[in-house]
Amino acid sequence: QSSRRMGLAAKVLHTLEEKAKEVFSAKIGLLQAREEAIQFYESAGWTVIDQPYSIPNVGLHRSMMKIL
């Protein structure tokens, strides 16, 4: 059974954001996302901050940020 669309990734992402604030006093989050995942991160409040770039043997990515 696929776990897609069950909200598991969103829960994990939220937990990681909260831990970053709690443990490291993080104010801003930065990540590299595959082009295919941009919509997921945007739905969680992340913003694209650059143009697409290629990571060899992996594919197109975008850098994203979020004020935590």
The secondary structure of residue 56, as a DSSP letter, is T
Quote the pLDDT of residue 6.
Answer: 72
In the chain, where the domains are located = 8-67
Q: Is the pLDDT of residue 5 over 80?
A: no
Residue 55: C-alpha distances to residues 28, 33, 34 (Å): 23, 11, 9
Q: Is the pLDDT of residue 58 over 70?
A: yes
Superfamily the domain 8-67 falls into: Gcn5-related N-acetyltransferase (GNAT) (3.40.630.30)
Q: pLDDT tens digits for 11-51?
A: 999 999 999 999 999 999 999 999 999 999 999 999 999 99
Quote the pLDDT of residue 33.
Answer: 97
Quote the pLDDT of residue 4.
Answer: 65
Q: Is the pLDDT of residue 3 over 70?
A: no
